[in-house]
Amino acid sequence: MPHPVADPTPPPHPRRWHRRLSRHTMGCLAWLLQLQFLVVNVIAQLAWPHDTAPYSLMSNAVSDLAAVSCGTVAGSGVYICSPLHVLMNVSLVTNGILMLVGALSFGVGHLTETTRLTTARALLALAGAGTVIVGLAPEDVALVPHVVGAGMMMVLGNLGFLLLGLLMRGDDWQLRVGRTRLGSIVTFFGVAGVVGTVALASILLSGYDGRYLGGGAVERVSIFSLVFGEIVAGFVALTLGPWRQRRRHHSALGYRRPNEVHDTDEQPAHTA
């Protein structure tokens, strides 16, 4: 009777596995550190001079917190003045870099590298670059680059994140939060971001001032769906991913914990 042929594929080299893990971990940390953007948003809003014109989440745009000068917006009569605009712009540039690093590093060595995944990474990387442009070109200093950068962040970023979520749902790398797959969570945030972006575009193309149509709130759905989604993805993959991969790696090397008992193991003989 012929003996079964052993699988000639060697187990992953430990150094290569740790190198992949390090790059993936760097991507997770980059996305997780986008928490700084949320914190700076709150701080900048609290520093807004409420005695003149309170900052409104419904009518004021996120970019208003990064406006360099104080004054009334032409055509709308909305007064803008952000004392912490420097901090906000630095946060935007930092967040763009974090988005870019995460886009190029998240899931490396775990997700199946395909053309569609490369497309998703490229879209997310361009969104990060757009965020950097937004921080370097405030709305009251260079409006055209600012709008282009914001469009890259919201349109390309949410499309890329939605594509990433769909790819994660069908990939072998399945991480779960309870019974929910991480791919499904990423897809949810991607859909929310795309819906928010389409709604914001509809308001802007309607010819009416978006500040009176809840444009600030709709813009936040588009922006923060992407930011929140990447933070959640980074946190879940950082806390669950290495543990899952380490177990798979040890299994490939035939490693067993000393106290691990299997049904197929020989049991020690008991002496009378």
Tokens of 127: 């969104």
155 or 21: which leads in pLDDT = 155
Is residue 206 very low, low, confident or very high in pLDDT (cuts 50, 70, 90)? confident
CA–CA distance, 91 with 213 (Å, rounded to integer):
27
Domain locations in the chain as residue ranges? 18-252
pLDDT of 257? 46
56 or 248: which leads in pLDDT = 56
- pLDDT for residue 5 is more than 60: no
Under 8 Å between Cβ of 95 and 131: yes
- pLDDT for residue 47 is more than 50: yes
Could you tell me the pTM of the whole model?
0.79
52 or 234: which leads in pLDDT = 234
In sequence order, what DSSP letters do the residues of 57-96 get, joined into one string? Answer: TTTS-GGGGG-SS-EEPTTT--EE--TTHHHHHHHHHHHH
Residues 227, 206, 88: CA angle, nearest 5 degrees: 30
State whether residue 13 is helix, strand or coil: coil
pLDDT tens for each residue of 110-153:
888 899 999 999 999 999 999 999 999 998 889 899 999 999 99
Q: At what angle do helices 115-136 and 143-151 cross, to 10 degrees?
A: 150
CA–CA distance, 100 with 149 (Å, rounded to integer):
14
CA–CA distance, 19 with 86 (Å, rounded to integer):
37
17 or 186: which leads in pLDDT = 186
pLDDT tens for each residue of 85-114:
999 999 999 999 999 999 999 988 888 889
Residues 248, 254, 257: CA angle, nearest 5 degrees: 85
List Cβ neighbours of 252 (8 Å cut-off, separation of 6 or more): 11, 12
Average pLDDT of the chain, as a whole number: 82
- pLDDT for residue 161 is more than 70: yes
